[in-house]
Structure 1
Amino acid sequence: MKFSLTWLKDHLETEASLQEIVDALNAIGLEVEGVEDPAERLAGFRVAEVLTAEKHPDADKLQVLTVDTGEGDPLQVVCGAPNARAGMKGVLGLPGAVVPANGMELRKSAIRGVESNGMMCSVRELELGDEHDGIIELPEDAPVGHSFADYQGSSPVIDVAITPNRPDCMGIYGIARDLAAAGLGTLKPIAFPEFTAEGSCPVEIRTDDPAGCPAFYGRVITGVKNGPSPDWLQQRLKSAGQRPISLLVDLTNYLMLAYGRPAHAYDLARLHGAVVARRAKPGEQVLALNEKTYTLDETMTVIADEKEVHDIAGIMGGENSGVQDDTTDVLLEIAYFDPPTIGVTGRKLGLASDARTRFERGVDPEFLADGLDLLTGLIVELAGGTASEAVHAGAPPSEAKVLQFDAGQTTRLGGVEVPPEEQRRILENLDFAVSDPGSSPGQAWQVTCPPRRHDIEGTADLVEEVVRIHGLDTVESVALPRAEGVARPTASPEQVTERKLRRAAAASGLDEAVTWSFLPEAEAAHFTATDDLWTLANPISEDMKVMRPSLLPGLLVAAKRNADRGAAGTRLFELGRRYFRGQDGMSDERATLGIVLAGEKTARGWASGKATHFDAFDAKALALSLLETAGAPADKLMVMGEAGEQFHPGQSATLRLGPKKVLARFGMLHPATLKAFDLDGPVAAVELFLDAIPAKKGAAGFARATFAPPALQAVTRDFAFVVPADLPAGELLRAVRGADKSNIVDARIFDQFTGGSLPEGTKSLALEVTLQPQDKSYKDADLKAISDAVVAAAAKQGAELRG
C-alpha cells in the first residue's frame, strides 16, 4: 500500500523525520518495501517565465522562446507546444535534468539550426498526468527560479506491505493509529465536513440477503456538480498509484484509501425503482466497470434495482449505473459484506479489485454510518448538492470479542519485559478497552477488542500487539534450552538421504536450483496426462495454475533463461516434490531429484578442437552414482526402456528393481520436448524417484555394518563372450554376477569388439570377474567350477565363450 508523507500527516500530528517514520513502521511489523521521493525525479526542473515567443525561422510548428529562470541571463529554448506564449509561467528542464517519462537527459542542442538550452515540459513528460496537448501552465504568482518540486509540494511516497491479517491498516488512518500508539505522534480525530440532511431518501434501499450483506446503508445527494478533483485530492490519489477520474469517483477512492472503507456512487438517473442487496439469479449477467461481462450464480451477492444487476457486491460496480461527468444526482452505497462470500465470488469470477481485497479480509463494521456521513460531507463541500436522510438497512456484526489477559504473558510468550502500565497504554491507544484489574496482584484484565480487529483470536494475539508496538527490535535473540548429554538425531532417514544427495550432486559439479512448485498448464501437460494434473482453484496467476508433475519443466525453463543470458553450459539439479491427485482426492507428494544437463560439456580447446556436449551416458552415470548415494542397490538395477515420451526413445532408459519398480529415468530429451521449451539441443536429463528407493533395514537406516577387510587376496579372471549385437551389456553383467554370489564380488566390462571374424549381428564383450576367497584359497577345481558357472549363466543370455 502506497501513500505520501503529506497524506499520513493529515491524520498523524508528528515532528518525526521520514527516516524515523520508516524505522518505526518496520519496528511495529508494518514492513516498508520502499520509499520514493518525487522531488529526486524532478531535480533540475524549475519554475520559469516566458519573456518572448517568436516563430522559428526554419520550422512552422516551432517557436523560439526567451525564458527567465530567475538566475542570470534569460535562456533561449526551442519549443513546439501550441500554448507557449510570452508572459506565461511554466516548468523548464535545464541541461542535465532527466525527463521522468522517458529517461532522456536534457542537453544543450541545436534544433533546426537554433540553439536550445533546455525544454519546457508537459504534464505527461513529468509523469504528473496524461495531458500532452501543451506545456504546463502555472499560476501568475508562481515564484520564478524556484524548484518545481518544492513549488508543487512533492512529498515522499512510502510503500508498506500489509499482511492479510491486518485489514485495519489498509487505510492510512489505521497506519497512523499504529504509529501514534508507538509514540511517534498524536492521532488526529476524523474531521467530518458539516452538511444538513433534508427530507427522506427518495429511493427504497434494503437487503434481501442478510447472510451475504448484513448491512446496507445509503442516501441520495441531488444537484451535485461533477468534474475534476482539486489538486490536493489528485496528489493524494496519485501517491497511492490511483489515477484521478472525476470528483465523485475520486472521493469514494479517497474514503477507501484513507479509512479502509470501500464505497460506491450510482448515477440516480440510471436506476429504476428500489435498490436491493440480494443473491444473483443463475445465469444473470452484469457489465462491470472494467468493461467485461460476468455471468453470475446463486451463491453471489449483488446490488440490483428492479430492472437489472448493477454491482458485484463488494468487488466491482457496473458500467450501466456508474457516475458520469454530467451526473447531477447520486445514490451513495456503503455496506458490510460477508468476507467468505466475497472471497468465493472473486475466485469464481477471477476478478480482483481494491474493494475485494478489503472486504474479503474484513472491514470495520462500526464505520458504516460515520463513513457515509464523511463521504456525504466531502461531496457536498466539494461538489455541492443537497443530501437526503440516510437509510440504514440491516445491521453489521456488533458483538465485541472479550478476552481475559494476564500481563505476565508478554514476558512468557514475547520474551520482553514490558511494565503492565505500558501494556495497558499500548492496548488502549490501539482502541482496546481494558478493564481495571483491581487491587489483587496478577489478576487478569478483561480486554474488549475493537470490531475491526478480526485478527485477534486469543491472548497470544494481545501479546503480539504489545510486543510489536513496544518494538520487535527490542526482543533479544535467545537460544533454546538444551538438555544435558548427547543429543539424539532429529532428522528423519528421508531428510538424511536428501542431505547426502544434495552434497553428492553438488560435488558432481551440478548447481542447485529452486524453481516454483507451480507451472503453466501447457508445460505441465507436456509431462503428464491433462486429467492427472493437480489444478489450483485459486492460483496466484495463470502461469502458476498447476502443481508440477515433474521437476524437469522448471529446470528446463531455468536452463533456457541461462542460455538466453549467454551461458555456454548449464548443469542444474533440484531436490523437491512432484504433485499428483491421489485416489482419495488429496494431494499425493513424491520426493524427487531432477537434473538437466544442457549446452557444452567441455569448451572447445587446442586438443579437441570442437566443444563437446552431454550425452545419455553422462546422465546414466549421474543417475547410478546418486542412486547409490541414496542407498539403492545400484549393482542390482536393470536398465530398461520406456523412459517416457518426453525422452528420445533411442537414447534413454529407466533404472529398475524388477520389471515394475522404476527408481529413475535418464537420457536425452526428445526434440519435441526441446521445441516446447524453446531450447536448442542436445539436452540430457535425469529424474530420481526417491519414494521408490527401498528403505534400509535396521535402526531406521542410521546403523551400518562394521567393515572387516578380507584375510585372503582377491583373484581376477577374464572372459570374452560372443553375444547378440542388441544384447545390453548390463544384462550380461547381471547374469555373470549372479552366477556364484558367494564367490563373485564384482564384474566389469573392459572391451567391446565388432567385425573381423565375428558372425554378422554379433559382438564380443570382454569381462573381468573378481573372485574373493573366504576362509581358504582357491584350488584349480574351485576356479573351474566358478568359471563353468559363469559360462552357463552367460549362455542363458545367448552368450558363447570365444575361442
Structure 2
Amino acid sequence: MKFTLSWLQDHLETNHSVEQLADTLNAIGLEVEGIENAAEKLKSFRIAKVLTAAPHPQADKLQVLTVDAGDGPLQVVCGAPNARAGLVGVFGAPGAVVPSNGMVLKVAAIRGVESNGMMCSVRELELGEEHDGIIELPADAPIGQVYASWAKLDDPVFDIAITPNRQDCMGVRGIARDLAAAGAGTLKPLNIPQIVDNFPCSTEIRTDDAEGCPAFYGRIIRGVTNGPSPEWIQNRLKAVGQRPISALVDITNYVMFDHGRPSHAYDLAQLSGAVVARRATDGETATALNGKDYTLTSTMTVIADDNGVHDIAGIMGGEHSGVSDATTDVLLEVAYFDPERIARTGQALLLTSDARARFERGVDPAFLDNALALITGLIQSICGGEASEVVHAGQPPVSPKIIAYDTGLCARLGGVDVEPAEQKAILERLGFGVASDWNVTVPTWRRDVDGPADLVEEVVRIVGLDKVVSVALPRAEGVAKPTATPAQKQERKVRRTAAARGLNEAITWSFLSETQAAAFGGSSWTLSNPISEDLKVMRPSMLPGLLSAAQRNADRGADGIRLFEIGRRYLADAERATVGIVLAGERSARGWADGKAQAFDAFDAKAEAIALLEAAGAPVENLQIFGEAGAHYHPGQSGTLRLGPKTVLASFGALHPATAKAFDLSGAVVAAEIYLDAIPAKRGSGFMRPAFTPPPLQAVRRDFAFLVSVDVAGDALLRAVKGADKVAITGARLFDVFTGTGVPEGQKSLAVEVVLQPVDKSFTEDELGVIAAKIVAAAAKAGAVLRG
C-alpha cells in the first residue's frame, strides 16, 4: 500500500516528521518497506528554455540546441523530435544522475559536437512511460528553478506492507486512523457531500446472488464531461504507481486508494436492460479491461445486463462497457462482495487487481452509501452532471459484533499492564464502541476482530510492543534433561558435517509450481488455497528448490555453487526427512598438478552423499551401488546407494539435460538426495563412537587382478571379495580399471587391494595362501577370473 505525505495529511492533522511517522507505523504493525521522494533524485534537474535549435552537422536525427537553465547559454546535442527553439523543458547539467538508468551526465562530444548535459523525457526522470520526446512545460514556467519544486513533487511516498488481516488499512483513511490512535496526530472528520437526487434512476439494479453479492447500490449521473483528471489527482495516482486514464476512471481509483473502497463506472449508453449481480453460467465468457477473455463457471459472481456479462464482480470491469472520452451518462456502482467468493474466483482465473486485493480481505460493508456520495461529489465537481436517486439492492452484512472484554486480559495475555481508562481511550480512537460494562462493539471496518484476545492485541500494539517486558521462562535447578530427539540430533550432525565440507545451507519453499514438480514425477499434494500458481503443490523432492536457488546464484555470476538443504519431501503416503545436495559449475582443481578448475561430476555427488550418510549414522561400509536413480538424473551418470536391493538410502548423479533445461541451468550440474528416514536406527549409544581399540598386529595387504565382463559392476566384485573370509578380511578397495592390450575384447581388468588383519598371531604363508584361494573362489562365483 502506497500513499504520499500530503495525501495522509488530508486525513491526519500532524506535525510529525516523515521519520517519526515511519517509526510510528512500524511500531503499530504497519511495516514501512520504503520511503521515496521524487524531489531527492530530481534535485539536479532545472527548468530550462531552448533558445536556438540547429541541425547537427554530422547526424540527420540530431539537433544542436542552445539551452538556458538560468546560468547562461549552454550547447546541448538532442535527438528528441519535438526539440525546437522556444520550448521550455527540464534540463540536466553535467554531474546530474539520470534516475532511469543511473547515468552520470558529463560534458561529451556527440558525433564531433560538444554537449553539456541533456534535455530530459518523462521516462528518463521516472515520471511516467512517455519517451517520444522531451518534456514540454508551460511557457511561463520559471527558468532556472528546480523542476521538482515547481512541479510540487516534493511529497514523500510511503510504501507499507499490509498483512491480510488489516483490510481497514488498504486505504489512506484507515492508516491515518491508526496513526491518530497511536498519538501521531488527530484524525480529521470525514466530510461526506450531500448529493441532490434530481431524478429517478431509470435503470433497474438488482442482485440475484445474495450470497456472492449481498448488496448492490447504484445511481445514474447524466450530462458528464469526461477528460483528463485534475493534476492533483493525477500526481497522487502516479505517486502510488497508477497510470491516469480519464477523470471518471481516475476518480474511482482515487477513492479506492483513499478509503479502500473499490467501485465501478459504466458507460450507460453501452448497457441494455437491467444491471444485475448474478452467478455466471458454466462456459460463459467475459472480456475484461485488460483485453483478455475469461471463461467463467457457476461458482463466480458477475455483473451483467440483457446482453451478457460486463464485469467479473469485485475483480475487473468489462472492456465494452467501460467509460471513454465520449461518455456523457454513467451508471455508478458500489457493491459489497463476499470475500471468499472473490478470492476463489481470482485464484481460478489467475487474475489479480487492486479491487480484488481489497474485496477478498473484506471492505467496510457500512460504507456503501458514503462511498457512493464521495464518488458522486467528485464526479460532479470535476466532470459536471446531475445525479439520480440511489437504488439499494440487497442488504450488506452490518449486524453489530459485540465482545465482552476483561481489561485484566491485557496484562495476562499481552504482558503489559495498561490502565482501563487508557485501554478504553485507545479502543475508541480506533473506532470501537466501549460501553460502561465493557461490552465492546467492533467497527464494521474491522472484520478481523473476533474475540477478547484481538482487543488485547489492539491495545498492546498501540501502547507499543517495546513495552512488553522480556521475561525468562522458569528453569528448574540442576542440569536440564536433553530435549533433542534422535532425529533432531541426526539432522544437527548432518548439517554440521555438510557445512564442514564446504556446502552452503539453503532454505527454500516447501511449495512448488506444478511445472517444477512435474520434472520430478509430479506432486501428490495440491494446496486448496495457494499463495500463487508458483507455489501450488508440495515438493516431491528437495532438488527443485535447490536447483532454483542454484540458477539464481549462477545468474549473479557464481561459478562454484555448493548447496544443501535439510527438509521434508511430501509423498503420497507421508512426509519424508531428506537431505538435498546440488553442486553446479566448477570446483577447485583436484591437486596442485591439475592447474585449473574442473567441472563437478557424478563422483562428487556420490562422495558428498556417502560422507553425509556416515554422519547420519548409516553403515556406509555395507552400502551397495545400484542404478535407477530416477528420470531426473542422467541415466549413464547416476546411481543409488542401498542396503540390500530394496533399502535405498540415497540417490546421486549428474542432472538429466532436460531437467537442467527446465530450471534454466547450463553447464555441469550434479545432485544427490539422502533419505534420512530410510537409515536404520542405531541402538544404545546412538551417535557416540565406540571406544578405539588399535589392532595388536600390523595388517597385511594383497593385490589381485581379475578379468570380468565389461558389464559387471566393480561393486559386485568387491562384495564377493569381502565375503570370502569375514574374520580375516577387514577391507577391500578397487584401485584400477584397465582395458586394452592383454585384456580380451568384451572384458576388463579390475585390480583390488585386500586388507587382511591378524588377531592374535601373524599370518603364515600357508594361511595367506588359503585366504587367497578363498578370495579367488569367491570372485569366480561373481564371474571373475584371476588374471595371469
With the length of structure 2 as denominator, give the TM-score of the two structures. Answer: 0.90
Q: After superposition, where does 1:89-104 map in structure 2 within 5 Å? A: 90-104=89-103
Q: After superposition, where does 1:703-782 map in structure 2 within 5 Å? A: 707=691, 709=693, 713=697, 716=700, 718=702, 720=704, 722=706, 724-726=708-710, 727-739=712-724, 741=726, 743-744=727-728, 746-749=730-733, 752=736, 761=747, 763=749, 765-771=751-757, 773=759
1:494 is matched with 487
The secondary structure found in structure 2 opposite 1:320 is coil
Shift of residue 797, structure 1, vs aligned partner: 2.7
The secondary structure found in structure 2 opposite 1:317 is coil
Q: After superposition, where does 1:256-655 map in structure 2 within 5 Å? A: 256-437=256-437, 445-528=438-521, 530=522, 532=523, 534-536=525-527, 540-541=531-532, 543-580=534-571, 582=572, 588-603=574-589, 607-609=593-595, 611-655=597-641
The secondary structure found in structure 2 opposite 1:635 is helix
In 2: Cα distance, 1:777 partner to 1:95 partner: 89
Shift of residue 57, structure 1, vs aligned partner: 8.6
Indicate the larger mover: 358-367 or 493-502.
Answer: 493-502
Indicate the larger mover: 270-279 or 678-687.
Answer: 678-687
Shift of residue 500, structure 1, vs aligned partner: 0.8
Shift of residue 248, structure 1, vs aligned partner: 0.6
Q: After superposition, where does 1:1-150 map in structure 2 within 5 Å? A: 1-48=1-48, 52-53=51-52, 69-70=69-70, 72-73=71-72, 82=82, 84=84, 86=86, 90-108=89-107, 117-130=116-129, 136-139=135-138, 142-150=141-149
Residues 659 and 153 of structure 1, relative CA distance in 2, 3 Å threshold: same
Residues 623 and 123 of structure 1, relative CA distance in 2, 3 Å threshold: closer
Residues 724 and 93 of structure 1, relative CA distance in 2, 3 Å threshold: closer
Shift of residue 144, structure 1, vs aligned partner: 4.1
Shift of residue 492, structure 1, vs aligned partner: 2.3
The secondary structure found in structure 2 opposite 1:316 is coil
Contact kept? 2:718, 2:734, Cα under 8 Å: no
Shift of residue 620, structure 1, vs aligned partner: 2.7
Contact kept? 2:722, 2:732, Cα under 8 Å: no
Q: Which runs of 5+ in 2 are unaligned?
A: none
In 1: Cα distance, 2:531 partner to 2:96 partner: 40
Contact kept? 2:276, 2:303, Cα under 8 Å: yes
RMSD: 3.4
Contact kept? 1:53, 1:63, Cα under 8 Å: no
Q: After superposition, where does 1:142-181 map in structure 2 within 5 Å? A: 142-154=141-153, 155-181=155-181
Contact kept? 2:729, 2:754, Cα under 8 Å: no
2:652 is matched with 666
The secondary structure found in structure 1 opposite 2:360 is helix
Shift of residue 779, structure 1, vs aligned partner: 9.9
Shift of residue 579, structure 1, vs aligned partner: 2.8
The secondary structure found in structure 2 opposite 1:176 is helix
Residues 34 and 675 of structure 1, relative CA distance in 2, 3 Å threshold: closer
Amino acid at match of 1:629: A
In 2: Cα distance, 1:751 partner to 1:242 partner: 69
Contact kept? 2:66, 2:75, Cα under 8 Å: yes
Shift of residue 799, structure 1, vs aligned partner: 5.0
Amino acid at match of 1:663: L
In 2: Cα distance, 1:92 partner to 1:500 partner: 63
In 2: Cα distance, 1:765 partner to 1:546 partner: 49
Tell me whether 1:656 sits opposite 2:635 in the alignment: no
Contact kept? 1:750, 1:768, Cα under 8 Å: no
In 1: Cα distance, 2:591 partner to 2:702 partner: 38
1:457-515 deviation per Cα after TM superposition (whole angstroms, max 9, x unaligned) = 22121111111111223333333332323222222222211111111112222222334
Contact kept? 2:721, 2:732, Cα under 8 Å: no
Amino acid at match of 1:494: A
In 2: Cα distance, 1:790 partner to 1:115 partner: 88
Contact kept? 1:193, 1:381, Cα under 8 Å: no
Contact kept? 1:712, 1:777, Cα under 8 Å: no
Shift of residue 601, structure 1, vs aligned partner: 3.5
Indicate the larger mover: 701-710 or 569-578.
Answer: 701-710
Tell me whether 1:241 sits opposite 2:241 in the alignment: yes
Tell me whether 1:797 sits opposite 2:788 in the alignment: no
Amino acid at match of 1:592: T
The secondary structure found in structure 2 opposite 1:393 is strand
Contact kept? 1:751, 1:765, Cα under 8 Å: yes
1:630-662 deviation per Cα after TM superposition (whole angstroms, max 9, x unaligned) = 121222222222223333444332111221221
In 2: Cα distance, 1:284 partner to 1:543 partner: 27
Q: After superposition, where does 1:171-250 map in structure 2 within 5 Å? A: 171-250=171-250
Count of residues in correspondence between the two structures: 782
Indicate the larger mover: 489-498 or 300-309.
Answer: 489-498
In 1: Cα distance, 2:187 partner to 2:281 partner: 46
Shift of residue 111, structure 1, vs aligned partner: 7.0
In 1: Cα distance, 2:152 partner to 2:88 partner: 17
The secondary structure found in structure 2 opposite 1:503 is helix
In 2: Cα distance, 1:63 partner to 1:601 partner: 54
The secondary structure found in structure 1 opposite 2:587 is strand
With the length of structure 1 as denominator, give the TM-score of the two structures. Answer: 0.88
Residues 648 and 271 of structure 1, relative CA distance in 2, 3 Å threshold: closer
Indicate the larger mover: 607-616 or 187-196.
Answer: 607-616
In 2: Cα distance, 1:381 partner to 1:589 partner: 62
Indicate the larger mover: 504-513 or 19-28.
Answer: 504-513
Contact kept? 2:405, 2:452, Cα under 8 Å: yes
2:677 is matched with 691
1:166-194 deviation per Cα after TM superposition (whole angstroms, max 9, x unaligned) = 01000000000000000010111112234
Amino acid at match of 2:716: E
Amino acid at match of 2:673: E
Indicate the larger mover: 38-47 or 674-683.
Answer: 674-683
Amino acid at match of 2:618: A
The secondary structure found in structure 2 opposite 1:319 is coil
In 2: Cα distance, 1:46 partner to 1:614 partner: 56
1:38-80 deviation per Cα after TM superposition (whole angstroms, max 9, x unaligned) = 0012112234456x5565695998877766545x545566666
The secondary structure found in structure 2 opposite 1:625 is helix
In 1: Cα distance, 2:17 partner to 2:205 partner: 47
Residues 706 and 188 of structure 1, relative CA distance in 2, 3 Å threshold: same
1:440 is matched with none
Shift of residue 16, structure 1, vs aligned partner: 0.7
Residues 694 and 425 of structure 1, relative CA distance in 2, 3 Å threshold: same
1:363-404 deviation per Cα after TM superposition (whole angstroms, max 9, x unaligned) = 001101111111111111111111111111111111222222
Amino acid at match of 1:243: R
Residues 226 and 83 of structure 1, relative CA distance in 2, 3 Å threshold: farther
1:66-123 deviation per Cα after TM superposition (whole angstroms, max 9, x unaligned) = 66545x545566666648554x754443333334345444445667887665544454
Shift of residue 709, structure 1, vs aligned partner: 3.5
The secondary structure found in structure 1 opposite 2:464 is helix
In 2: Cα distance, 1:64 partner to 1:624 partner: 71
The secondary structure found in structure 1 opposite 2:226 is coil
1:736-769 deviation per Cα after TM superposition (whole angstroms, max 9, x unaligned) = 444555x347222375576888877364644434
Shift of residue 792, structure 1, vs aligned partner: 5.5
In 1: Cα distance, 2:316 partner to 2:734 partner: 74
Indicate the larger mover: 615-624 or 55-64.
Answer: 55-64
